């Protein structure tokens, strides 16, 4: 199945103090690490979702603006789902540099024509490294019109409606979902 992909880089990076996307991790900026990972999956199209068009965005990657007012990844995913030309959207956060090509391929193998996949660690979903079906767009739009902008809530609804398959994360896989929020984590 052909998919689209989005690199979610619209966070404010308040805890980090500067744009996470441009911080170096193992010699490369986080945005480059994540885009190269997405490119290995050979999606039909790749988006970068952010509040404003990042200066580092390569010309062959489409920019998708968060619809104001931005509600974090909820806004970026809604805008990307609305623009994509495939049945599924693979979402990946810019600050999740431990994610692997193998795990994302595993997630791709869990999807069905109208159903995506989201990892679940114990009682939490991992919605920023997940694959959403186009049918999820209505859920994201509804959430943006409400007052609960939690990705956990949206993921839970999508699982309950069978638009997402919850995939259990093993103890060895938990580290793939670590997101970098402090400079000390960049030294790992």
User: In sequence order, what are the beta bridge partners of 8?
Assistant: 49, 93
* pLDDT band at 187; cut points 50, 70, 90: low
Expressed as residue numbers, the domain containing 171 is 4-187
Whether the per-residue pLDDT at 97 is higher than 90: the answer is yes
Would you say residue 8 has pLDDT above 60?
Answer: yes
CATH classification of the domain holding 174: 3.90.550.10
Q: Note the pLDDT tens digit of each residue in 137-174.
A: 999 999 999 999 999 999 999 999 999 999 999 989 99
Q: Is 5 helix (H, G, I), strand (E, B) or coil?
A: strand
Average pLDDT score over residue span 110-124: 95
* pLDDT bucket at 13, cuts 50 / 70 / 90: very low
How does DSSP assign 38-66, residue by residue?
HHHT--SEEEEEESS--TT--TTSEEEEP
pLDDT of residue 69: 73
pLDDT, averaged across the chain: 90
How many domains are there within the chain? 1
Of 25 and 45, the one with more pLDDT: 45
| Residue 62, Cβ density class (10 Å: 0-12 exposed, 13-18 middle, ≥19 buried) | middle
């Amino acid at each position: 199945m052909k998919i689209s992909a989005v690199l979610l880089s619209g966070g404010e990076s308040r805890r980090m103090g500067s744009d996470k996307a441009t911080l170096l991790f193992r010699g490369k900026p986080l945005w480059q690490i994540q885009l190269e990972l997405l490119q290995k999956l050979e999606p039909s199209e790749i988006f970068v979702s952010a509040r404003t068009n990042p200066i580092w965005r390569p010309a062959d990657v489409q920019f998708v603006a968060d619809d104001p007012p931005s509600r974090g990844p909820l806004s970026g995913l809604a805008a990307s789902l609305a623009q994509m030309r495939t049945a599924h959207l693979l979402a990946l956060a810019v600050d999740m540099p431990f994610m692997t090509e193998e795990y994302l391929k595993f997630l791709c193998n869990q999807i069905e024509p109208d159903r995506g996949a989201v990892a679940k660690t114990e009682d939490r979903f991992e919605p920023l490294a997940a694959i959403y079906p186009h049918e999820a767009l209505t859920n994201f739009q509804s959430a943006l019109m409400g007052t609960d902008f939690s990705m956990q809530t949206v993921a839970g609804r999508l699982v309950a409606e069978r638009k997402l398959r919850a995939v259990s994360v093993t103890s060895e896989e938990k580290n793939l979902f670590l997101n970098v929020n402090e400079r000390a984590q960049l030294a790992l």
